[in-house]
Amino acid sequence: MTRHLLAIDDLGDDGIEEVLRLTESFVEVSERAIPKVPTLRGRTVVSLFYEESTRTRLSFEAAAKRLSADTMNFNVGASAVAKGESLRDTVLTIEAMGVDAVIVRHASAGVPVQVARWVEASVINAGDGWHEHPTQALLDCYTLRERLGSLDGRRIAIVGDVKHSRVARSDVAAFASLGADVVLVAPPTLLPPSLVGWPVEVSHDLDEVLPKVDAVVLLRMQQERQNEALVPSLREYTATYGLTRRRAGLLSDGAVVMHPGPMNRGVEIAADVADLACSVVTRQVANGVAVRMAVLFLLLAAEARP
Ligand code: NCD
């Protein structure tokens, strides 16, 4: 087993299967009256989030606590980073306190890889720039399997701002590894400049794609990462690529709607579509905790102290 989880490819096909298999037991733990096991007692997990987050940060914290690990939270705004401390010095300071895992989120791609070179602890990428967000992809896979069974031969559309989306990059790698066919649906300006090596098809016609897919993953417009106007207007984007109520009606029976959150209701997804029975958005959040327990378990429990 890999020591770090920096990208989906670190796991390989077998590793993904192992995380999904373990997740099932941690879903069971999460449903107990007291959802806690002693597995990581005495281990310390620190969250190093240089970018804002609601779901991912709380989810990792809940996961670590349910495994009885001690958790430390690093708040960039309230830290010595505001006094000019470098990333390296910050990381080495944290490591000197004796931590077993560092969960990193940063606006720049590659930061978790760099942190992994500096520390002995396990590093988990909780989202780096446009690059990867592996635990999101794993919880997406688990949630899809829960609703659809095997993903082999299933067709999944990923719709929206693929260009700036680390979720899309990790999802494509994970879905393809489980045998799904992925179609990206976006205007050309919101697709990466090159798709060479991406195991995907591309479409610009959401109405045509929707009836043929088993799942649709909607992506938020990453306006904080866009420094030019990539769509004429948000209203125009919604009219062409938003999952409106009418478009949701084009989905086949049993098809599921996903969104990693945070949702911009009324932009990529109509306000009421997120609450339809086909939407698994809250299930994704619930499964996220169990998936992160599985990842922490895999990275830390093998060398757990007695
Ligand atoms: C995503 C992220 O931060 O990459 N959110 C998440 O982790 N659930 C997607 C987004 O910000 O749109």
pLDDT digits (tens, 9 = 90+) for 53-71: 999 999 999 999 999 999 9
Q: Which atom of ligand 1 is nearest to the CA of 165?
A: 4
Maximal C-alpha separation, the chain: 59
Task: Quote the CA–CA distance of 258 and 288 in Å, as a whole number.
Answer: 13
- Into which CATH architecture does domain 134-281 fall? 3-Layer(aba) Sandwich (3.40)
Q: How many angstroms is it from 43 CA to the middle of ligand 1?
A: 27
Q: Does the C-beta of 160 come closer than 6 Å to ligand 1?
A: no
Per-residue pLDDT at 305 = 42
How far is the centre of ligand 1, averaged over its atoms, from the C-alpha of 303 (Å)? Answer: 31
DSSP, collapsed to helix, strand or coil, labels residue 12 as helix
Which pTM value belongs to this model?
0.96
Q: Tell me how far the alpha carbon of residue 304 lies from the centroid of ligand 1, in angstroms.
A: 31
What DSSP character marks residue 279?
B
Correct CATH for 8-133+285-300 of 3.40.630.30, 3.40.50.300, 3.40.50.1370, 3.40.50.10680: 3.40.50.1370
**Band of residue 80 on the pLDDT scale cut at 50, 70, 90:** confident
Q: Ligand 1 centre and the CA of 42: distance in Å? A: 30
Amino acid 303: pLDDT: 58
- Lowest mean pLDDT of 143-147, 211-215, 218-222, name the range: 218-222
Question: What are 203's strand-pairing partners?
Answer: 185
With the most atoms of ligand 1 within 8 angstroms of its CB, the residue from 50, 56, 170 to mutate is 56
- CA–centroid distance, 41 to ligand 1, in Å, is 29
Q: What confidence score (pLDDT) does residue 1 get?
A: 58
- Asked if pLDDT for residue 3 goes beyond 80, the answer is yes
Atom of ligand 1 nearest to the CA of 55: 8
Give the number of the atom of ligand 1 that is nearest the alpha carbon of residue 56: 7
Nearest CA to ligand 1 atom 7: 56
Nearest-angstrom CA–CA distance, 271 and 248: 12
Atom of ligand 1 nearest to the CA of 261: 8
The answer, yes or no, to whether any atom of ligand 1 lies below 6 A from the CB of 187, is no
Residue 132: closest CA among 160, 191, 90, 174 = 174
Closest ligand 1 atom to residue 219 Cα is: 12
Atom of ligand 1 nearest to the CA of 167: 4
In residues, how long is the chain? Answer: 306
Whether 304 has a pLDDT exceeding 60, the answer reads no
Angle at Cα 274 formed by Cα 270 and Cα 276, nearest 5°? 110
- Please tell me the distance from the alpha carbon of residue 92 to that of residue 119, in angstroms, as a whole number: 7
Distance 184 CA to ligand 1 centre (A): 18
CA of 285 to the centre of ligand 1 (A): 12
Domain with CATH 3.40.50.1370 in the chain: 8-133+285-300, 134-281
Rounded distance from Cα 260 to ligand 1 centre (Å): 6
pLDDT digits (tens, 9 = 90+) for 96-112: 999 999 999 999 999 99
Amino acid symbol at 242: G
Question: Tokens 């997120």 identify what position?
Answer: 274
**Which protein residue has the closest C-alpha to ligand 1 atom 12?**
220
Average pLDDT over the chain reads: 94
What's the mean pLDDT in 164-170? 98
| CA 261 to ligand 1 centroid distance, Å | 6
Q: Is 169 in the pocket of ligand 1 (CB under 6 A)?
A: no
